[in-house]
């Protein structure tokens, strides 16, 4: 206990490095590298997946996600406004909706929409429409709360200024508050887009034709044709092609707006 603070810090650092090296060594020595290489990095298998993994798999993943996100954002905006509504029933409905769908796994929502709606109403439901609705519902529950927070984060002075210029409450909301709210919540919305990209993999449970495969299903079908797990790895890398740039974008947006509330000169000092 007679160690100086600096010495103790050095020991702690040494122990951390030591454990890190030990973990790496244990993994490196116990793993069967030849097996890992043939299981995950079979270049021939990977080569066979191109270009369809991009033109079909990645493409459909992006399309499903974009449809769901667009629909969900619209729905979320309505829900957020209902949540802030002066009509109590509207607030209730929005609140119940959000709690309900935020608490359900995305898979259940997709199955309920994709197989439940056609069964209940005896109609044919296009896969793209089904996914747009299902992923939209999943995303909207989260985004509604984000949007509500964003709307409430717009400084009160903005509303007061707009109102004193003679704008109606509705016009104030549409032209003054909502645009600024979106600017505030861009980073969390980007994160939601990343989550939704991954959730779109659940589309495989609705069944798909060859041209409708998204990345996960594409990878799994390719898995049937090969002995190795390489298709899973290739599909995984394709997800990262979408998600890593998005997370960088999210961080950039966060930095740009970070710690600063828009439109209030007194709060522009850097906090972060």
Q: Which residues bind another protein (CB under 8 A)?
A: 5, 8-9, 12, 15-16, 19-20, 22-23, 26-27, 30, 115, 118-119, 122-125, 204-210, 212-213, 217, 220-221, 223-224, 226-227, 229
Minimum CB separation of residue 75 from another protein in Å reads 24
Cβ distance to another protein smaller for residue 187 or 231? 231
Q: Which is nearer to another protein, 33 or 124 (CB)?
A: 124
| In the complex, minimum distance from the CB of residue 23 to another protein, in angstroms, rounded to a whole number | 5
> How far from chain centre, in Å, is Cα 211?
24
* Strand ranges inside 3-125, DSSP E: none
Q: Are 206 and 130 in contact (CB under 8 A)?
A: yes
Closer of 9 and 237 to another protein (Cβ): 9
Residues 6+ apart with CB under 8 A from 137: 72, 75, 101, 109, 113
Strands (E), 33-177: none
Minimum gap (Å) between residue 119 Cβ and another protein:
4
Q: Is 50 helix (H, G, I), strand (E, B) or coil?
A: coil
- Please, which residue, 115 or 158, has the CB nearer to another protein? 115
Name the residue nearer to another protein (CB basis): 81 or 208.
Answer: 208
Work out how close the CB of 80 gets to another protein at its nearest, in angstroms, rounded to a whole number: 33
Query: Which of residues 22 and 244 has its CB atom nearest to another protein in the complex?
Result: 22
In the chain, what is the straight-line distance between the N-terminal and C-terminal CA atoms, in Å?
36
For tokens 């439901």, name the residue.
Answer: 125
CA 63 to chain CA mean position, Å = 14
The distance of closest approach from Cβ of residue 39 to another protein in the complex, given in angstroms and rounded to an integer, is: 9
**C-alpha closest to that of 134 among 103, 113, 105, 159:** 113
Dihedral sign computed on CA atoms, order 143, 148, 151, 155: negative
Min dist CB 79 to another protein, Å, is 29
Length of the chain: 272
């Amino acid at each position: 206990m007679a160690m100086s603070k600096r010495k103790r810090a050095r020991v702690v650092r040494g122990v951390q490095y030591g454990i890190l090296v030990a973990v790496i060594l244990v993994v490196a020595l116990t793993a069967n590298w030849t097996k890992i290489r043939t299981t995950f990095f079979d270049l021939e298998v990977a080569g066979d997946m191109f270009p369809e993994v991009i033109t079909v798999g990645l493409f459909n993943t992006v399309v499903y996600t974009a449809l769901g996100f667009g629909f969900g954002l619209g729905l979320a905006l309505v829900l957020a406004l209902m949540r802030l509504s002066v009509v109590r029933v509207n607030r209730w409905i929005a609140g119940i909706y959000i709690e309900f769908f935020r608490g359900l796994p995305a898979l259940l929502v997709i199955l309920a929409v994709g197989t439940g709606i056609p069964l209940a109403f005896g109609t044919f439901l296009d896969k793209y429409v089904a996914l747009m609705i299902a992923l939209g519902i999943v995303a909207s529950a989260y985004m509604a709360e984000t949007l509500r927070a964003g709307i409430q984060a717009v400084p009160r002075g903005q509303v007061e200024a707009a109102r004193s210029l003679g704008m109606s409450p509705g016009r104030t909301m549409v032209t003054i508050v909502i645009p600024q709210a979106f600017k505030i919540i861009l980073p969390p919305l980007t994160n939601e887009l990343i989550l939704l990209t991954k959730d779109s993999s659940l589309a495989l449970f609705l069944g798909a034709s060859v041209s409708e495969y998204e990345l996960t299903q594409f990878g799994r079908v390719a898995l049937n044709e090969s002995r190795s797990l390489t298709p899973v790895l290739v599909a995984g890398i394709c997800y990262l092609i979408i998600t890593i740039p998005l997370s960088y974008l999210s961080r950039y947006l966060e930095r740009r707006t970070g710690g600063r509330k828009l439109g209030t000169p007194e709060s522009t000092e850097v906090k972060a």
